[in-house]
Amino acid sequence: MKYLPKIHQPRLLFPGLIQLLLLALPCLSHAQEIESQSLSAKIYRGAGVINLLNDISANSLANYFNQTGGLLMLGADVNENASGNESNPSVGVAIKQAQLSIRTTAGDFTFKDFFTSTSAMLRESGSTTALEYSTLFGQGGSSQITGTGSLDIAKFDDVMWFKNVAFNGSITSATLSITFLPTPNQNATAAESFFDFSGGFEEFALFNAADAALVEAGNIGMADAPSDIKYETQSGVAGAIAQAAPAVPPSTNTKSGASTGLPADSSSMTPVSAPPAAPAPPLVALASMGCLLLWKNRKQPTAKNA
């Protein structure tokens, strides 16, 4: 570690790519301070509201959004009956709508555009028109995935997320409402039979980036899905993590925001309550700047939010 003091010398401010990567690695590890957190509220019989502040403090939630660049990443434990064309190794649900509502000292901020890594063309019960809906895959029991912290992420099957979550003021409440899609009971397609819901208790967790990427990469439940169901693979949470930049707060005059668009994954879905974030600096440069700041302030650590 004798070479570290030299980082203050001008000739080392722009080292080669290999040197930057070597400097970045310990800083990236140090920056990962978020632990995934199980959420106590559950979704029962296809709909429910989760109060995020029951399990995480307002300050910690604000810090979470700062660290994730405005991403809310949720691990989902899909608990469905293995009936019809579903089986214990492969079950699924479709999401009709989801909404993140944040109230702060500056106003109310609403985000309705959410994403998953798969979608399917499905009819809602009572409708003759198929639309594209985001879907979640899962399996009965636990996987072999090991997470980064104390939460047992092996029980979680898939990931859903919101992007560009930005707000002004201090958080006073934060709720997540989720409604699954009821599909037809009669003359249902194979996909509609598979992505129905049986009224089980779906559980969720607030995921950090590492755990979200691990669970998504596991493709849990997909390998054993019926061959006749049709679904599309979308851009995943790993891409959203790579693109995330510190969220830009909306104007102080915007106290009530609402996003638009269908719940299916689409690159055109950007919540209007959260203006597009500035392009993220290259990872290497960002990590190097973080290293410089950490070294400069090493003798004066700042207190963390609860």
More confident residue, 117 or 5: 117
pLDDT confidence bin for 209, thresholds 50/70/90:
very high
pLDDT confidence bin for 250, thresholds 50/70/90:
low
pLDDT at 276 exceeding the cut of 60: no
pLDDT in tens, 22-41: 333 344 433 455 899 999 99
pLDDT confidence bin for 64, thresholds 50/70/90:
very high
**What whole-number percentage of the chain has pLDDT above 90?**
57
| Under 8 Å between Cβ of 4 and 295 | yes
Distance in angstroms (rounded) separating the CA atoms of residues 116 and 181: 14
Phi, psi dihedral angles at 12 (to 5 degrees): -105, 5
Residue 284 buriedness (CB in 10 A; 0-12 / 13-18 / 19+): middle
Tokens of 296: 């400069």
Distance in angstroms (rounded) separating the CA atoms of residues 114 and 92: 17
- 120: how many CB neighbours lie within 10 A of its CB? 24
